[in-house]
Amino acid sequence: MPTDQLSLTFAALADPTRRGILARLAQGEATVKELAEPFAVSLPAISRHLRVLEGAGLITRRRDAQSRPTSLRIEGLSEADEWMANCRAVWEGRVRRLDAHLDAMLKGETDE
Amino acid sequence: MSDSTRAPAEVRITHVFDAPPEAVFAAWTDPDQVAKWWAPDGYEIPPESVEIEPRVGGRFDLVMVESSGTGRFPYRSEIIEISEPELIVLGAEAILEAGIEETVTRVVFEADGGRTRMTITSGPYTDEIRRNAEAGWVDLIANLEKLLAA
């Protein structure tokens, strides 16, 4: 996945209204009007949030109906999750090597 | 940036080293030592590529080179906070062609007898996430995946 796409995903997830929309969509497809109901914001504001989520690959919107029902795109979340898992693996490796390095240092074995 | 404003959008790892904080801190700020442990498996760090200026605003730069190949992956960061021997915070630049995101890595060293408890938190903080410390998307991902798997 291109890195700029991942940045879009993280930025999209950084907003509480957009996370609320995703949580609602986890229960199933919804229209813009249905998505707007729990929030004290206008329909155009919800539409803007949906454009951000769509740009981040987190939702898909059907084009064949006037109400443009929206659904969750789980792949978008998996990609962000995978990035974090890789990040964790790199740091765990560093901690292991640092541990071995410090052991060797304290035993005076690093002066090859 | 205190713990209370820390976004949960990050990796968090704690480890206790059988060495005093001064030794662990030095392993993070002495270029020759950093070159020995920073590179992921399959990579090496030429010691001359490591530049560390241990002060706020100083550089923390190095290059990871593929052991069997020609790939070169720079890590370029600025020291955001530093306090010997208890804290170092690195703000890494995004390097798009290497698939590296902008991240903030915070490393806390706490004395524990003659040992050191080191806690690393590292995350992909975009400016928007920085402003919204309650990001909480890691939990959201876990919850959504659970829901969808059900």
Say which CATH number the domain at B98 has: 3.30.530.20
Task: Give Cα separations from A7 to A20, B43, B103 (angstroms).
Answer: 19, 26, 11
For residue A15, name the pLDDT band (cuts at 50, 70, 90): confident
8 Å CB contact between B129 and B29? no
- Residue A49 resides in a domain: yes
Distance, CA of B106 to CA of B7 (rounded, Å): 12
Say which CATH number the domain at A44 has: 1.10.10.10
Per-residue model confidence as pLDDT tens digits over B114-138: 999 999 888 765 544 444 434 445 5
- Residue A80 resides in a domain: yes
Rounded to an integer, the average pLDDT of A88-107 is: 91
Angle of CA points A38, A41, A47, to nearest 5° = 95
**B60 has a pLDDT exceeding 70:** yes
- Residue A30 resides in a domain: yes
- Residue A112 resides in a domain: no
Write out the residue range of the structural domain in which residue B128 sits.
3-149
How far from each other are the two terminal CA atoms of chain A, in whole angstroms? 42
Distance, CA of B140 to CA of A43 (rounded, Å): 24
Angle of CA points B145, A8, A49, to nearest 5° = 80
Most B CBs within 10 Å, among A24, A78, A90, A98, to test the B interface: A98
- Residue A111 resides in a domain: no
Q: Does the beta carbon of B16 lie under 8 angstroms from any beta carbon of chain A?
A: no
- Residue A15 resides in a domain: yes
Distance, CA of B134 to CA of B132 (rounded, Å): 5
Task: Say if residue A6 is exposed, middle or buried (CB neighbours under 10 Å; 0-12, 13-18, 19+).
Answer: buried
Write out the residue range of the structural domain in which residue A75 sits.
3-106
Indicate the range of B44-53, B86-95, B133-142 predicted with least confidence: B133-142
**B71 has a pLDDT exceeding 80:** yes
Q: Does the beta carbon of B148 lie under 8 angstroms from any beta carbon of chain A?
A: yes
Most A CBs within 10 Å, among B45, B141, B147, to test the A interface: B141
- Residue A64 resides in a domain: yes
Please, which residues have CB within 8 angstroms of residue B102's CB and are 6 or more apart in sequence? A7, B91, B92, B93, B94, B124, B125, B126
Peptide bond into B21 cis (omega under 30): no
Top mean-pLDDT range of A38-42, A63-67, A79-83, B1-5: A38-42
Q: How many domains, chain A?
A: 1
**A59 has a pLDDT exceeding 50:** yes
Distance, CA of A108 to CA of A18 (rounded, Å): 54
- At A59, the amino acid letter reads I
CB atoms within 10 A of CB B56: 12
For residue B113, name the pLDDT band (cuts at 50, 70, 90): very high
Note whether ipTM > 0.85 here.
no
Beta carbons of A101 and B27 less than 8 Å apart: yes
Distance from the Cα of A112 to chain B's closest Cα (Å) equals: 12
Top mean-pLDDT range of A59-63, B57-61, B67-71: B57-61
**A85 has a pLDDT exceeding 50:** yes
Tell me which residues of chain B, numbers 78 to 97, contact chain A at a CB-CB cutoff of 8 Å.
94, 96
Beta carbons of A27 and B18 less than 8 Å apart: no
Q: How many domains, chain B?
A: 1
